[in-house]
């Protein structure tokens, strides 16, 4: 597998989902720190993307415009951020977040956990 980069958007198999967890094959943005990605950690911290945003979570969701092979307007679902196995990734990156988008996602994640 090619070198992973923070902000890279990959397809990942998130099933099986439990309860309110988001599942299925969907794009995720890699949020792991670059130094973690450099050591080829078996776990990655990701933010799932969706083409839908629930209004009650609008203050946490980050809108993303289509680019490269991310064909639809999407939302980074910050409340669904989690660690996944590297083996859940399916193929090369399909797009990439900008540095400012990464900062917004991380800021909203900090707000989610009360920092």
Query: Domain containing 36 — which CATH number?
Result: 2.30.30.110
The pLDDT value recorded for residue 91 is 92
For residue 7, what is the enclosing H or E element?
none
pLDDT, tens only, 19-63: 888 889 999 999 999 999 999 899 999 999 999 999 999 999 999
Q: Three-state DSSP class for 8?
A: strand
Transcribe 34-57 into DSSP letters: HHHHHTT-SEEEEEEEES---GGG
pLDDT digits (tens, 9 = 90+) for 53-106: 999 999 999 999 999 999 999 999 999 999 999 999 999 999 999 999 999 999
Domain tally, the chain:
1
Cα distances (angstroms) measured from residue 95 to each of 57, 60, 112: 24, 21, 25
What pTM was estimated for this model as a whole?
0.95
Does 1 reside within a domain? no
- Residue 106, phi then psi, degrees to nearest 5: -65, -40
3 located within any domain: no
Structure-block tokens of residue 58: 């609008």
């Amino acid at each position: 597998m090619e070198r992973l980069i923070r902000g890279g958007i990959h397809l990942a198999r998130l099933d099986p989902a439990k309860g309110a967890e988001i599942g299925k094959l969907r794009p995720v943005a890699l949020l792991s720190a670059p130094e973690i990605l450099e050591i080829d950690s078996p776990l990655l911290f990701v933010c799932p993307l969706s083409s839908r945003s629930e209004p009650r979570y609008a203050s946490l969701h980050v809108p993303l415009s289509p680019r490269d092979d991310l064909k639809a307007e999407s939302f980074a679902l910050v409340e669904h951020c989690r660690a996944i196995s590297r083996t859940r990734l399916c193929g090369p990156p399909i797009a990439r977040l900008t540095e400012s988008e990464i900062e917004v996602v991380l800021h909203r994640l900090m707000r989610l956990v009360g920092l």
